[in-house]
Amino acid sequence: MTLPLPTPADLVPTDRMQWILERLAEEDGGLGDPTLLPAPEGRKLAEQTNRRWNTDLPEMAAKDFSVRSAEGREIACRLLTPEGASGLIVFIHGGGWAFCSMATHERAARLLALEAGAHVLIFDYRLAPEAPFPGGLNDCQAVWNAVVTGHPDLTSCSHLRALAGDSAGANLALALLLALQADGEPTPDAALLFYGVYDANFETDSYINQKDGPGLTRAKNDALLELVCRRPGRQAEPARCAAAGERCATESVAAAVPERSGHRSPSLGYGKPGSPAAQPWPDRQLQPLSGRRPWLHADEP
C-alpha cells in the first residue's frame, strides 16, 4: 500500500488541530519544553502535562504485575481488560524514546482496548539517554517473550496477539517485528502503528517542509535521535533504533511505509495474510488509521 504524498494543504493544521494547539499553548505557557531540559526534569514535566489526557478513564479491570528481563530487572506491566475481551494487544507507548510512561498513555490504551474488544498490555521500558539503543527495544522483546511463553498473569488472554505503538512506540514495535523475524521467533498476528518513525531518511518532503512544526520540530527530533542513538548529527546507527526502512516486510506482518517520515507518518494497521487478524479482529477489519487520535476527549471540536 502506498499513500499519496502530502499536498500544501496537508501542512496547515485543521481547525480541530489548531484549537488543540492553541489550548495547549495556553495551558502550558511558561512551563518550558521537556525535550530541552535534562532528562529527569523533562520527564517530570512530561508526566505533569500529560495528566490532562488521562482523566475520565474508561472503567475496566486492571492488573499490575512485572516481567523479568534477560538481565534480571523487573519491567512494570499493566493488563487492561474490558468486558468480553478477546485477544491481546501489546501496546508500546511513545515519547521520543526518552519520555512518557504507562501513566501518560493509560487512557489511550484503555480506549484501544474498548475499540478492539481486546486485552491491552502496557509497560514501562527503559528510556534514553540513561538506556540508549537497544535498551528500550530489549525490554520490549522481554515483554513479548513473556507473552508468547505463557506468563502466568496473561493466561486469561487468547492466543490471538497484536503489537501496537504510537510515535517512538510505533518505531519500537516495528523494530521488534524485524528483530523477531530475523531471529526466527514467533511474530504477532497483527500490528497497529500510530504515526510512527519508520525511516532513517532525513531528506523527505515532510521532514524538510515541517522542520518548524507545529509540535515536533526537526531540531527536537534530531535531539531525541541523538539521545537514543548515542551519535550526533542525526546518525541513526544502528538503523533499527531510528527506523525500520522505507518499505519493510516480514514473513508475518507487512507494513507499507510511504514517502513520509517522523511525525507526518500515517497510522497503519495490517493483519498477517491467512491469519485470524486478516479478518475482523476481533470485531472489525484492521484498516489504515490516519487521523485517529484515541486519547482526545469528546469535548474537543
The tens digit of pLDDT for each residue in 174-217 reads 889 888 888 888 889 988 888 888 776 777 777 788 888 777 88
pLDDT digits (tens, 9 = 90+) for 231-257: 544 444 434 444 433 333 222 233 322
Which whole-number Å values give the CA distances from 164 to 4, 35, 112, 123, 277, in the listed order?
A: 23, 24, 10, 12, 13
Looking at the DSSP bridge assignments, the partners of residue 89 are 120, 162
Write the single-letter amino acid at 35: T
Which pLDDT score, from 0 to 100, does residue 52 have? 92
Q: What is the pLDDT of residue 115?
A: 92
Q: Where are the beta strands (DSSP E) in the chain?
A: 61-68, 74-81, 88-92, 119-123, 161-166, 190-194, 247-249, 254-256, 268-271
Instruction: Find all residues with CB under 8 Å of 8, minimum gap 6, and list them.
Output: none
With 0-12 / 13-18 / 19 or more C-beta atoms within 10 angstroms meaning exposed / middle / buried, residue 153 is middle
- C-alpha dist (Å) from residue 32 to 37, 98, 191: 8, 16, 35
For residue 8, is the peptide bond before it cis, meaning its omega torsion is within 30 degrees of 0? no
The residues of the chain scoring below 50 in pLDDT are: 1, 232-265, 270, 273-301
**β-bridge partners, 122:** 78, 91
Handedness of CA 127, 192, 246, 13 (dihedral sign): negative
pLDDT score at 272: 52
